[in-house]
Amino acid sequence: MILDLERFVREGEPRWQELEALLTRLERHATAQPEVVELERLHALYQRTSADLLRVRGLPTEGRLRGYLESLVSRGYTAIHGVTERQRGSWFAWFWRDFPQAVRRRPGELLLVLALFWGGAAAGAGLLVTRFSEREMLFPFDGLAVRPSQRVQQEMEDRGRQVGERTGRFSAQLIQNNTRVAFFTFALGMTYGVGPTVLLLANGAYVGAVAADYVLDGQTMFLLGWLLPHGVIELPAIFLAGQAAFLLTGALLPRGRRAPVEERLRDVFPDTLAILGGVAVMLGWAGVVEAFFSQYHEPVIPYAVKIAFGVGELGGLVAFLRWAGRDAG
């Protein structure tokens, strides 16, 4: 005889149904901690059903009995082996400890990002200086369409009126756009580093060209007063997103390691997520500063005040990333 299927089903069905009901209850309340008694019963039923599945697998039965038992065993396996201790931690501890520690743990990636961005900036500035007459063709950006001195004149006459009526909306748009760019930069890490490299070089070239244009036109103070208050937070945030992207890239590349790619990726996720969380907070701050502070120029706010504010922020950021969370090990 192949198998007394009728008897097998008659005897097994009550415990299969009990297991199914128990699993359904546990899956519906995935975030709740199950009772020990429930877990013990689950384990016993799971083992009996696994044995039933083994018995059926070796025998020529119809597909649905095997399918039914497989689905029960897979759900049971997930429920039993998936019980993990939930990590608990405060937002404060994450921001004050995990984020700066993660940045410090991966200096190589950060140095690569800085080299790419500032290399791009130097190239952009160099191109603009050496081929000044072709600047609009080389850099077809709105920022270079108007001469810096004209822009400064317009801003001084406007006295912040244009942006004054919509600072809230403007700030939200800046936060949204910058965070989107930061997350996109990180996601491009999956392109084996090609995406973030291109993005950082291109952005660096743009910033370098704009900066050179303002300096050549004698508007260095305006430039510093305009960019420093938000730029000293916004640019490092993009650098850190790039650092997270290259962490991802580094995990994808074997570089002589024997660990499988899944394991290498799992190793870097805690740091990448800690960094990206910090990046989101930084960009929130930068968006508020850019809308409510950076857009107001002399005579509304003296350049010296804006520059001092930016330098203070930069010092604070460097100190935070350098020393915060050191005591925690």
Considering the complex, state which of residue 74 and residue 149 has its C-beta at the smaller distance from other proteins: 74
Looking up tokens 């370098």 gives 208
User: Which strand (E) or helix (H) includes residue 147?
Assistant: none
Rounded least distance, CB 306 to other proteins, Å: 22
Rounded least distance, CB 322 to other proteins, Å: 26
* Angle of the 107-130 helix axis to the 220-252 helix axis, nearest 10: 130
Number of Cβ atoms within 10 Å of the Cβ of 40: 10
Rounded least distance, CB 123 to other proteins, Å: 26
Rounded least distance, CB 9 to other proteins, Å: 4
User: Which strand (E) or helix (H) includes residue 126?
Assistant: helix 107-130
Considering the complex, state which of residue 50 and residue 220 has its C-beta at the smaller distance from other proteins: 50
Q: Which residues contact 186 (CB under 8 A, 6 or more apart)?
A: 241, 244, 245, 248, 272, 276
Considering the complex, state which of residue 209 and residue 244 has its C-beta at the smaller distance from other proteins: 244
Give residues in contact with other proteins (CB under 8 A).
1-7, 9, 13, 20, 27, 30-31, 47, 50, 53-54, 57, 59-65, 67-68, 70-75, 77-78, 81-82, 84, 87, 165-173, 175-176, 179-180, 183-184, 186-188, 190-191, 195, 248, 262, 265-266, 269-270, 272-273, 276
Considering the complex, state which of residue 111 and residue 194 has its C-beta at the smaller distance from other proteins: 194
Whole-number Cα distances in Å, 249 to 162, 178, 191, 246, 261: 43, 22, 7, 5, 11
Rounded least distance, CB 77 to other proteins, Å: 5
